[in-house]
Amino acid sequence: MSSNPEIEATLEQLTELCCDAIKEGGEFQHELAEQLVTNLSTNGWKRHSKDGPPLSNVLKDRIREECPEPAIHRGAAIDGVVGEVQSLYDRASRYEDKTPGESNQAMPPRTM
């Protein structure tokens, strides 16, 4: 899988966000995750990862590599966080996949 610098930076930020969420007392930052997955979608993650594993698998591998200590003991937490990120990405990419006519229909002019 080839990626561009923007995608790689976004994946690093998502990994960090997920690592923070699985730590003891950590919280999942939903709004930041939404921004990051929208960024992935906008920068062409689907195109760059066409022949690769899904985002959830990529994140799981990165989490286990970047924060091995909590990852060893928090498998269910990783699954939950990564599942949420995948769901957010799926929703964001659905909007990106719409044709312009579907999402940007012109409003009829208002008459007085």
Output the CA torsion sign for 79, 1, 38, 12. Answer: positive
Is residue 107 in some structural domain? no
Could you report the per-residue pLDDT of 6-42, keeping only the tens digit for each? 999 999 999 999 999 999 888 999 999 999 999 999 9
Is residue 40 in some structural domain? yes
Amino acid in the structure at residue 91: R
pLDDT at 108: 58
Is residue 88 in some structural domain? yes
On average, the pLDDT of the chain sits at 86
What does the chain come to in residues?
112
Separation of alpha carbons 24 and 27, rounded Å: 9
The whole-number average pLDDT for the span 79-87 is: 95
Q: Which domain holds residue 69?
A: 5-98
Is residue 91 in some structural domain? yes
Q: C-alpha angle 71/13/68, rounded to 5°?
A: 15
Please give the tally of structural domains in the chain. Answer: 1
